Structure 1
Amino acid sequence: MNRRFTAQMSMRAGRWRLYVVLFNTTERWPEHRFGRSVPTFTDRTDALSVLGFEPVPGAVWEWTEDSETPDDPASPVVLIAAIRVRSWSGASV
């Protein structure tokens, strides 16, 4: 059976970063960094594939707005996208 995880994407220093959240481990989270343009759906799916994951059937990207500095209404906005993913059979996660 394929294990399920949450993949997230956020922007830091002008570049988008996609990573898969791994709880209860000291291993480095699988990560892919994009260039300066906003990654398309295909770009994100391809990056997940390279990392050994795929979206769970029926899953959609959900976007959340956060602030860079908590409790500061003047803080820059941080956008975070998340989707449920599953590891491929044989993936090392």
Structure 2
Amino acid sequence: MPARNDSYLNVWDDTVKGRDLLIALGISTPLSLGGYIFAPGAPPMPLIMGLSGAIIGFFINAVLFRPKRQLDVEGDDRDGPADLDMDEESCCAEGEGR
């Protein structure tokens, strides 16, 4: 089986696939604009329906597209850094309590 060449884009310091980004925009844009354009009633309803469409689109995209990040953890530091091991007196200035 040939290796897939997935092209990743850097958007707002996050790594995404170009195809997934276009599909997510294709889902979110019609939902939010459709809610705004086809909303019945007085002026607050188009805003509410447009935001509702954007939130529904967000949840659909969150389910369809999982994060592509891979975290590389170096070392086994289960207790945390040693320099953060302080007692309660050393963390607060004199006269300041919690």
TM-score tier (shorter): under 0.3
Using CA pairs below 8 Å that are at least 6 residues apart, which structure has the higher relative contact order?
A: 1
> TM-score, normalised on structure 2?
0.25
> TM-score, normalised on structure 1?
0.26
> Higher helix fraction: Structure 1 or Structure 2?
2
